[in-house]
Each structure stands twice: as C-alpha cells, then as structure tokens.
Amino acid sequence: MNSLNKSPRYISYEILLSFINKRSKLQQIINYHLTKQKLSDKDKSFITEICYGVIRNYYFIEYLINKQSKQKHINKRLKILIMIGIYQLKFLKSVPSYAAVNTSVHLSKILFPYAKGFINAILRNIDRDKINDSDIPINIQKSCPNWLYQLYINDFGSEETLNLINEQVKRPSHWIRINDDINKIMNIFSENNIDFTQYNYNTKYLSVKSLSHKIISELLSNGIIYIQSPSSGHVVDLLNPKEGDSIIDGCSSPGGKLTDMYFRCKKLKKLHSYEINYERYKLLKKNINIMSTDNISIFNKSFLECSNNNFNKILIDVPCSGTGSINKKPDIKILRKLEQYKYFNEIQTSLLNHSAKILKSGYIVYSTCSLNNLENWNIIDNFLHNNKNYKVSNISNLVPKNYIDKKGALFIKPHEHKLDGIFAVRLTKLNA
C-alpha cells in the first residue's frame, strides 16, 4: 500500500473523497494532501489537474456514470474512482485511453476488488460510446447544477446563460498584480521564458500561463507580486484612494483589495481593515506582512462592531455565493445551495446598512463576486428604497465603459470580458 499512497491518482482519489465527505474548499484539501508527501512538481500538477477537472465537470461525469450503470446507487468511494477514470478518458488528451482504464482498474483491485469488472466495463463502454449532445440537457453538458442554471436563466435569459455556463466550465486564466516596477518584472519574466500578457486597462496586471514557475514562487513569497484578477482592481478603481483619505475595508481577507489601495496611495490618512474569522484574519495578517505594508490597522472582529465615523470611504466586499469565480473555484457549484442565499442576503444587507450608519460623508463601495441579482441589484435597490440620502454614483470616468451595466454598476461578466465575475456599486451620501 506504500507505493499506492504515493500514486498521483490515489492521492487524487483521497482528495476528492475528502472533499465529498467534508464539503470543504477544494484548494484547502489539495494543499493539505500535497504537503503530506514529497512529490515532484509534475505529480503535484497532475493531481491538481485531476481534482479540479473532476469537480469542474462533475455533473456531466455523473450523468455518464448513471447512463452506463444499471445500479441505481453506487458507493460514493467507488463513484469517485470511476469519475477520475472518466475525466482522463474524456478531457485529458495527454493520457491514452488504455492508461486511463488500466490505472483505474489497477486501483480498484486494491481498493474495491469486488468491483474491478464493473469499473472496467463502465470505462470501456464510455470510451467506445459516441456522446449525442442532443440527448443531454445543456446545463448537464456544462456541469451547471439545476438551481444555478435557473437563476442564470432568470437574470440573463437563455442565450446569454448558454454563453456563461460554457465559459465557466473552462480552465481559468492566471492573473497577477505587480507591486513593483512593472518593466523590471516583465524583463525578469522574459529572461526566464515566462509567457505573459499585459492587461489592457491596468498595466500592473499580467496574465501568465502557469503559476508553478520557480521565479513566480519567489516573487510571491517576497510580496513583489500578488495573485489577483484585474476585476478586483476595478473595484478599487471605484474607491479611487487619494492622499488624505480615511478608508475602511469591512471584509478584508485575504487582503487583495486592501493592499491594492495601499500601493496606489501610501499617503492615506487612515486605512482600517476588519476580518471576523480568525483563520482568515491570520491569512490577512500574513499577506500584509509579506508585502511589507504599513499604515494599515487590522482588527480581528466584525465590521458591525465598528463605531468610528471618521472615514470618508468604505469598502464592503461582502460574503456571497461566489458564482463569478466558478472558473477558478468550480467547487462552488457543489458547495453552494439555493437556500444559502437567504443567509448571504441577511449579512449583505446588515453590512450595507451599518456602512450607511457610520459614514458621515463620502461614499460606500458595495461589491460581490456574484453574478446573481439576488446578491447584487436586489440588495442595492432595497437599500436605496430605505435610504433616500444615498444615490448610485457615476463611475464612467473610473472604469471601462463596457464594464458598466445599464443601471450604473461595475458588472464584469466572465463570458463577455474573460475575467472573474465582479459586481460593484459606488453609493454616494447626499448632503443633508
């Protein structure tokens, strides 16, 4: 069993089983397992590819299993092993079909000896079968759960929803924010044959094909670069930090937007940060220390406990469903449920109302990484109905006009803009 424990496919099996059992964030589980054993970069990459690939295509793979199996209920441990085999067969061109089948059968001989014939038959049938897309619901083809698909239909209509779910099943782009001289970093990348593309609207952002290069790891560990989508940078655009500003970041961790504010303007009067969760607070503190930022006061408590009203700008990047980040966090499709929106809405509303309570003058930026109106305009419209002393600010001079929706919000759509989905509104307090 020792050699099996070090097998990338077995480790992938362990990770996915842990994810299904615990319903915890996939990346956290991957990180835990990859640090348990000494693995090559190649093996780490393969394990990550398998785990993310299975979850990204989970509902489609599940459909194929149900189609081929006469058993109504398959043991979840066995099901995971089959899913790993199917993902290799259908999505990994680098793995020959015979290897995908044989390695899965080999693992089954050790883990489920009673089922090796069953697994072999399913995988070989799936390998031979030509899939007729017309027989499969479109949301299943794109591994979008029914509840989320219906939300998208309600918000975007059928045609746009199809474009969206087609985009969200693709591998994500890798974006980094440069905290140093951009030309120096681009020269380093060129010298080390790291392919990159500079973002059109904010040259401090680069897209790279992979984050695994040694140079990138070194730059990250020294705080010279930070993994962040330009979408988040555009939220900071709405804050427009300037010398003398006093700013609160009400939901800070892991600190991307917070540190972006700092690097844009190091002469802020005050920059306060709140994070209620202790583990996320520790991560926030670690990131701030790595980037050697000062003049940032961080508090391990809820922003709702803040009574200080000597601030002119407040950012509340509220807890949300995260549907705009499904490309890089496909586990959202499994972890989230429709009934959770009530919980998120209560938090979102309370954070926004509290911001309005403590702001003397200036504006609030409300943001989510959600694509759903339930967390976006529904919250804003309700707030404006109850707070006549606030209005939606004109942001056309702050962000690209094609990123602004009809009602004046920053709304970046993955299928249109090839970036993480982001919604943000700047709410200005009117003079009494």
Q: What is the DSSP letter of 322?
A: -
Q: How far apart are CA 209 and CA 191, in angstroms?
A: 16
Q: Which residues pair with 311 in a beta bridge?
A: none
Q: What is the number of other CB atoms lying within 10 angstroms of the CB of residue 394?
A: 11
Reference 230, options 395, 398, 409, 419; nearest CA is 419
- Phi and psi dihedrals of 121, rounded to 5? -65, -45
Which residue matches tokens 């959600």?
Answer: 370
CA dihedral 364, 370, 373, 379 (to 10 degrees): -30
Reference 430, options 382, 377, 361; nearest CA is 361
Contact 414, 324 (CB under 8 A): yes
Reference 319, options 360, 290, 347, 291; nearest CA is 347
Element (H, E) at 205: strand 205-208
Spot the catalytic one: 51, 144, 251, 369.
369
Q: Look up 369 and say whether it is catalytic.
A: yes
- Phi and psi dihedrals of 414, rounded to 5? -55, -40
- Could you list the active site residues? 369
